[in-house]
Amino acid sequence: MGIILFIIALLATTLGSLAGLGGGIIIKPILDMFNMNVLLVGILSSLTVLSMAMVSSIKHIHAKRVSLKILYLAIGALFGGFIGNYLLLNMSKDPIGLQTIQSTALVVVLVLILILMRLKKYLKKFHVHNKVIIVGVGLLLGIVSSFLGIGGGPLNMIVLYVMFGLDAKDSAASSVFIIMFAQVTKLFFLDAAFDLSYLYFMIPGGIMGGFVGAFYNKKVSDKDVTIIFNTMIVAMILVNIYNLI
């Protein structure tokens, strides 16, 4: 089981770092297929993605691909992360119902994101500079991503394009930076009742995925990033539908 989790984490975070998906959007629904506790899945997914995001963000910051305005978005996501985790904890008394809500919400969100990505060239770019608005949007991103346990990469990518007009590669770098802030909040919601030994396999996979994804992000074209992004969104829609059946 440990090796399987390592491979899942490695592949998910490599694609997540490369295309700005984060990895949680892949890890969470796949782990749901193993019938794990919904809170445990959230912890494993979030901390694996956090390890990837920390590694990738260091490389992206060093390459000067994360701007100051993204920091304001990330600060909002940090506070949103606390709210999302609090809501998740309070709804965990009905784990089956919670998983159904999460999977249903993920399908809806992913379908909307896929549609928006297909219509991206028609979307207006606002180039927002108001710090209050930026922090507020970050807050909402943090709440949604933490509650769903997905990292929030796909949502970040759309927001970064519309709010700041970033291209696919720069959006991917900034998205991972925002994910780091949102997911660090999970450290304050760890539950000793769960077997967290799975993290010994998943975090190394996340760290390796962060290095590999950040490396190839500089090598591939915007078109390649968009193709990977859309392909994984479609795949995860199908996985989440399977989890609902």
pLDDT at residue 140, as a whole number? 95
Q: Going by C-beta distance under 8 Å and a sequence separation of 6 or more, which residues neighbour residue 48?
A: 9, 12, 13, 23, 24, 27, 199, 202, 203, 205, 206
Q: What value does the mean pLDDT take over residues 190-210?
A: 89
Per-residue exposure over 84-95, b if at least 16 CB sit within 10 Å of its own CB, e if not:
bbbebeebeeee
18 or 238, which is more confident: 238
Is the CB of residue 33 less than 8 Å from the CB of residue 163?
no
Q: Which range scores top for mean pLDDT: 47-51, 146-150, 200-204, 226-230?
A: 200-204
pLDDT above 80: residue 192: no
pLDDT digits (tens, 9 = 90+) for 8-54: 999 999 988 888 777 888 999 999 999 888 889 989 998 999 998 89
Angle at 211 between CA 164 and CA 117, to 5 degrees: 35
pLDDT tens digits along 98-146: 889 988 988 998 999 889 888 888 888 888 999 999 999 999 999 998 8
* Banded model confidence at residue 239, pLDDT cuts 50, 70, 90: very high
146 Cβ partners below 8 Å, 6+ apart? 46, 80, 81, 82, 83, 84, 85, 88, 152, 182, 183, 185, 186
Average pLDDT over residues 198-217: 90
